[in-house]
């Protein structure tokens, strides 16, 4: 997975490995507030999408730190979809109608939050985040470096450029992309390529001839 934009337009995670996130697709844009309770966010998302809370699916990383969040969500009767990893894919799925996912919630990687912001900017969605220090040392270092731990990071804070790019290729089968499959002397890959300026999202199935790829890589190395 890679994202690109003009120099200085992407958020620098600094010492912060994790951030709390909430992300939605275009049909629920401007309806979220990471500082609001989960139930309030679900009510606003359901209102924006013209459905009931019970019709919403929330995607969350399956981690012990989300025990309380999951308990709160169960009380709302929203559907919960737990994933073992890959919350960038989870964020993208909120803007991918075929996925059946409406909102991403929970704590995941800060760099992944920036990648997700680039992807959702291309797709017309929205993400908000708040830095989540793992310990007092990380908190103290971040404060010394000038990070505001109480700040809500909006889309424009995570990636301010209106011309950013995002690309991802599956390695193993995941929630969004198929993994690499092999046939004879070749391989097939499944990728997504996006650009925010055009709003174009390309889903690419590629077939590669391994022998030629090896030859090209040897030329580059030399």
Mean pLDDT of the 124-150 span: 96
Pair 145, 68 in one domain: yes
Residue 5, C-beta contacts closer than 8 angstroms, at least 6 positions apart: 118, 159, 161, 163, 164, 165
Mean pLDDT of the 16-39 span: 98
Residue 202's DSSP bridge partners are: 193
Q: Which residue has the higher pLDDT, 218 or 7?
A: 7
Q: Which two tokens stand for residue 133?
A: 């220090």
Say which CATH number the domain at 67 has.
3.40.190.90
Residue 101 has pLDDT above 90, yes or no: yes
| Cα atoms in the Cβ-side hemisphere of radius 13 Å centred on 203 | 6
Pair 107, 150 in one domain: yes
pLDDT for the residue numbered 118: 98
Residue 115 has pLDDT above 90, yes or no: yes
Q: What is the pLDDT of residues 153-211, one digit of tens each?
A: 999 999 999 999 999 999 999 989 999 999 988 999 999 999 999 999 999 999 999 88
Q: Residue 212's pLDDT band (boundaries 50, 70, 90)?
A: confident
Domain residues for the domain of 181 are 168-221
Q: How many domains does the chain have?
A: 2
Pair 89, 198 in one domain: no
Among the three residues 115, 135, 160, which one is the final residue of a domain in this structure? 160
């Amino acid at each position: 997975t890679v994202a690109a934009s003009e120099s200085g337009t992407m958020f620098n995670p600094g010492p912060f490995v994790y951030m709390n996130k909430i992300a939605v697709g275009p049909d629920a844009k401007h309806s979220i507030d990471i500082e609001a309770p989960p139930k309030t966010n679900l009510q606003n998302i359901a209102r924006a999408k013209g459905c009931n809370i019970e019709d919403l699916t929330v995607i969350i990383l399956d981690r012990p730190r989300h025990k309380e969040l999951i308990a709160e969500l169960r009380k709302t009767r929203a559907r919960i979809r737990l994933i073992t990893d890959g919350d960038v894919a989870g964020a993208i799925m909120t803007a991918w109608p075929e996925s059946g996912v409406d909102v991403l919630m929970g704590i995941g990687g800060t760099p992944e939050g920036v990648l997700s912001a680039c992807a959702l900017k291309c797709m017309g969605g929205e993400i908000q985040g708040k830095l989540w220090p793992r310990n007092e040392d990380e908190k103290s270092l971040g404060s010394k470096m000038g990070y505001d731990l109480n700040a809500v990071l909006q889309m424009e804070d995570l990636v301010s450029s209106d011309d950013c790019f995002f690309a991802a290729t599956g390695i193993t089968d995941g929630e969004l992309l198929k993994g690499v499959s092999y046939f004879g002397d070749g391989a097939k890959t499944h990728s997504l390529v996006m650009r925010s300026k055009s709003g174009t999202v390309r889903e690419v199935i590629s077939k590669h001839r391994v022998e030629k790829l090896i030859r090209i890589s040897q030329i580059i190395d030399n």
